[in-house]
Amino acid sequence: MIAPRLAAPTLALIALFASGASAAADCAVTVDSTDQMTFSTHSLAVPKSCKTFSVTLTHSGSLPKNVMGHNLVISTASDQPSVVSDGMASGLANDYLKVGDSRVIAHTKVLGAGESDTLTLDVAALKEGESYQFYCTVPGHISMMLGDVKRVD
């Protein structure tokens, strides 16, 4: 009988994640999406000191993108309802976004399980006093998959 050796690999994995997080500073974050139609966070903090800010979207579920696909889109809070409703008609082939939608500040493609994509935001494009949101434009997901993008010092 061989005893399971879980402790050492688990610690190595934790160390790997910890070093990766510190190397990326605060100008990059990872947001996970799931088969339960959720993002791993409802708030993104964008430091004003960053020139660009990257968001990597992952999908830790098991369902393909035509069943439970997700994207991550950033716009002003006031543009969000129209970006979502116009995106609905564009279909999966266009990542559920109106082609050339100038209201979209940044977005990932629609992902299925096991995929990832990274968007890069020009931090200077976020205006003082404006409210921004991140969300998924796959039809029916907006009520569950919505959060705030905040500029922080």
For 82-89, the CB contacts below 8 A with 24+ separation are 83/137, 84/135, 84/137, 84/142, 87/137, 88/137, 88/139
Instruction: Lay out the sheet containing 116-122: strands in order across.
Output: 28-33, 52-59, 116-122
Residue 138, interface with Zn ion (CB under 5 A)? Answer: yes
Q: Cβ of 90: how many Cβ atoms within 10 Å?
A: 15
- Near Zn ion in 9-68, by CB under 5 A: none
Closest approach, Cβ 131 to Zn ion, in A, equals 21
Edge-to-edge strands of the sheet including 73-76? 43-47, 146-152, 132-135, 73-76, 106-107
Residue closer to Zn ion by CB (options 46, 57) is 57
Residue of the chain from 70, 110, 135, 147 that contacts Zn ion (CB under 5 A)? 70
CB-nearer residue toward Zn ion: 89 or 127: 89
DSSP annotation of 3 reads P
Distance CA 153, CA 147 (A): 19
The answer to the question of residue 141 lying near Zn ion (CB under 5 A) is yes
52/94 with CB nearer Zn ion: 94
Q: Is there binding between residue 83 and Zn ion (CB under 5 A)?
A: no
If the CB atoms of residues 27 and 88 are measured against Zn ion, the closer one turns out to be 88
Q: Which is nearer to Zn ion, 104 or 136 (CB)?
A: 136
Question: With CB under 5 A as the contact rule, which of the stretches 8-16, 52-60, 110-118, 128-136 interacts with Zn ion?
Answer: 128-136
Amino acid identity of residue 89, one-letter, is A
Residues in touch with Zn ion (CB under 5 A): 70, 136, 138, 141, 145
